[in-house]
Chains A and B, each alone.
Chain A
Amino acid sequence: MTVSVQEVPGVGSEEPVHQEPTGFWRRYIFSVDHKMIGRQYLLLSAAMALVGGFLAYGLRWQLAFPDTWVPGLGFIGPETYNVLITMHGTTMVFFVAMPMLLGGFGNFLIPLMIGARDMAFPRLNMLSFWTIFTGSLVLLASYVVPGGAAAGGWTGYAPLSARPIYTGVNWGLNLWLLAHAIEFASFLMGGVNFLTTAMTMRAPGMTFFRLPLIVWQELTAAVVFLLSVGPLIAGAVMLLMDRIAGTSFFVPAGGGDPLLWQHLFWFFGHPEVYVVLLPAAGLACEVLPVFCRKPLFGYRWIVYSTFAAGILSFIVWAHHMFVSGMDPRLAMPFSITTILISVPFAIMVFAMIATLWGGSIRFATPMLFALGFLAMFICGGLTGIFNGSAPANIPLHGTYFIVAHFHYTLLSGVFFGGFAGLYFWFPKMFGRMLNERLGKVHFWLTLIAFNATFFPMHFLGLAGMVRRISNPLQYPSLEPLQAVNVFITLSAIGLILAQVPFAFNIVRSLRAGEPAPANPWEATTLEWSTASPPPHDNWGETAPAVYRWAYEYSSPDAGEDWLPQDRLLALKP
């Protein structure tokens, strides 16, 4: 006789998961509660954002005013510049973007949005946070070891990274590799948790196609990360062996090939950018319908596009390598796949625009940031089409055009999508409302400073300014462009300062903000059916049951212009 263990929706959510903690340590530090862990991830990403932002300030000052004394850093030589650019990229991608978008929002939202009481593996969840916390410490430690922090670029290309003598950095780069390994482990744990939870613990009636879109995006990001990081872990082990065990996997002098590192890195590196982007797009997709009072247009199409993007992301990676010396016969196939991957994202963008069309728009701060995501992402996506085509890539690779492209695509996600999410869910997370006026000031300053910083970079790139040089004035052809560099640096400083109203808003609202009701935005997803902040077990006595999809706005069946997922309508006589 066989046993068939069915996914019985609701079985998970009815099981007592863990006791309400007492005492400071269990409640705030070693918590197994997904809501607290989500907040911890957000705090970590905020702290590391300060580090990453400071590095950006330093490298931008050096570029604008080369070989002058940088306030707070001193004189920056080429080696130090390499450290700044390396650590800025590494910190921002792996210790800011991912903890915020996946660890923070994913952890906080997924159980609430599916009607569960916690994640499938709460203790593994706690371990995942403390793992990345340790990884952050390892990364920060690399600044103070002899030889300084990693200076091989955030991509760690061999052979520069493969022999300590080439960068002059020994322990710093080893710790850099170790920090990556640790944070990979952390996100693997998190990914396992997200996927298992969504597969097995949805509330009664919460079928897959009733999930809010952000959940789909988080799950796809988890799968994409899970399946793409392996070869880079293998490569990182090989690189570490090159550095400390005398092997030559990536060093030509010993029979190795630097190209192998690039392939292994980008096999992960490209899917990774979608791991960052998809949740951010999901955050914006959640906010738009609420503030248009209209259902999300093309929900299923966005889900299918998400799958398509996830799948295609595995076969586009060599567009980072068109000029690397890779076999030129690979250029065309990868150009084609790269152009193809713009299609699902175009569908998403069109669906978001169609959601707005005819909507009754409320311009609250979360909505402003969601609209900002849409606009900035379109810009970034458009330049991606140029970069992805091999012939166009040849003059553009390694220039500031690329820097502009990825900041438009990544920061549209992390900044605009992330802030949309923060302003939207802050009441739910902390039980307080944020100040609307400060929020709007934050938005406009950020939007203007962001574009002032990164838009001119397109022209710098087209004019031939290459990346990773510490002193543009060393190149006579770049001297006429220096005014642009100064403008960008001043705008970048403005962008950093533009975050002050946000920080002030957070701190003040946490202490003295208006207490938040359960559903201040009149939204339909499950997390708004419970208190702000939710009780320890999320739902109290009875977990919700779900009767409809997540975007029932302006439905003729309801008295108001919104209908929650868990409200049973009275049967009409």
Chain B
Amino acid sequence: MEAIATLPGAAAAHRGKVGIWWFLASEIMVFGGLIASYIISRMGGPGWEAEAHHLSVPLASLNTLILLTSSLTMVLACAAAERRDLGGVRTYLLCTIVLGLAFLGIKAFEYSGKIAAGILPGSAPFWSFYYTMTGLHGLHVLAGIVVNTLFFLGAAKVVRHPHRVEMGGLYWHFVDVVWIFLFPLLYLA
């Protein structure tokens, strides 16, 4: 049996969801453009594997695990919001924020290690792409953390308008999906 939601909040939820998906469509093009450039540059240039070996697959795998788990906690936060579960919303949002910060922390550790070893964006084409792609992705992660923190601080409001955290969730999952591709592109291939 289907219920047609005509409660006043439903229209706003629908608008918000449509709006966020349009935004994500444009973001797919941004990262897609960068990734397309990387793929063809790499296919056209020799010796990139040698550079890529300087990266730590275990560390990046840990980061991937962290981000995947943060997607889980994010979607659990959204489910909690729908249930009007204030405690659940707070808990899961906090987990998501902490995991996001952990991701950035490991990234910062990676960057500082490379820079200390003299590997800079200009050192080789591979590194130009590595820094640019993970840097742009990292900025998006940071933006997501900021948004999630605002939700966390205003959790009572979130519970009244669950569609807002759902919009934030869509963005956060998107950032996760981008990393799902960056990981093999940069670390495994």
Contacts and interface: CB of A to CB of B under 8 A. Distances in A.
Contact of A227 (B2, B29, B41, B122): B29
Interface string A1-25: 1111111100110010000000000
Interface in B1-42: 1-6, 8, 10-15, 18-19, 22-23, 25-34, 36-37, 41
Given A1-B1, A11-B6, A246-B122, A229 B29 contact: yes
A228 B28 CA distance: 11
Nearest to A12: B11
A196 B32 contact: no
A476 B72 CA distance: 71
B131 interface: yes
B16 to A, nearest CB: 8
By size class, the interface of chain A is 35 or more
B1 A200 contact: no
Given A1-B3, A227-B29, A234-B34, A7 B14 contact: yes
Given A196-B19, A230-B26, A233-B30, A5 B5 contact: yes
B36 to A, nearest CB: 7
| Chain B contact residues: helix, strand, loop or mixed | helix
A227 B132 contact: no
A234 B136 CA distance: 9
A230 B11 contact: no
A472 B122 CA distance: 40
A260 interface: yes
Interface string B103-133: 0000000000000000011101100100110
B58 interface: no
B112 to A, nearest CB: 16
B5 A245 contact: no
B125 A226 contact: no
A264 B11 contact: no
Contacts of B33: 230-235, 264, 267
Nearest to A230: B29
A255 interface: yes
Given A3-B5, A5-B5, A234 B15 contact: no
A336 interface: no
Interface residues of B, number: 40
Contacts of A230: 26-33
B10 A229 contact: no
Given A3-B3, A8-B6, A233-B30, A247 B122 contact: yes
Interface stretch (A30-38, A186-194, A300-308, A524-532): A186-194
Nearest to B44: A257
B25 A260 contact: no
A121 interface: yes
Contact of B121 (A1, A11, A245): A245
A231 B29 CA distance: 6
A230 B32 CA distance: 8
Contacts of A237: 34, 132, 136
A246 B121 contact: yes
A11 B9 CA distance: 11
3 residue pairs, one from A and one from B, having the closest CB atoms: A230-B29, A231-B33, A246-B122
23 contacts: A1-B1, A4-B2, A4-B4, A8-B6, A188-B26, A192-B19, A193-B19, A195-B18, A196-B15, A196-B19, A200-B11, A201-B15, A226-B29, A229-B26, A230-B28, A230-B33, A234-B34, A234-B37, A238-B128, A247-B121, A248-B122, A249-B125, A256-B125
Given A121-B19, A231-B32, A245-B122, 16 more contacts: A3-B5, A11-B6, A124-B19, A188-B26, A196-B15, A226-B25, A229-B29, A230-B32, A231-B33, A232-B33, A233-B30, A234-B30, A241-B121, A247-B122, A248-B122, A248-B128
